[in-house]
Amino acid sequence: MRTLELSFLVALVVVPPTAHRASTDGPIRVIVNRSVVVETLDLRELNRLYRGDVASLPGGARVVLAEQIGARQRFYAIVLKMTEDSFRRHWIRVVFAGNPVNPPTPFSTSEDLIRFVAKTPGAIGFLEGDADETVRVLRIDNIDAAAPTYPIR
The pLDDT score that the predictor gives to residue 138 is: 98
The pLDDT score that the predictor gives to residue 22 is: 42
Q: Is the pLDDT of residue 6 over 70?
A: no
Distance CA 94, CA 49 (A): 12
121-152: pLDDT as tens digits:
999 999 999 999 999 999 999 999 999 999 99
Q: Is 51 exposed, middle or buried (0-12, 13-18, 19+ CB in 10 A)?
A: middle
The pLDDT score that the predictor gives to residue 60 is: 84
Q: Is the pLDDT of residue 95 over 50?
A: yes
SS3 string, 32-98, reads EECCCCCCEECHHHHHHHHCCCCCECCCCCECEEEEEHHHHHHHHHHHHCCCHHHHHHHHHHHHHCC
Q: Is the pLDDT of residue 47 over 60?
A: yes
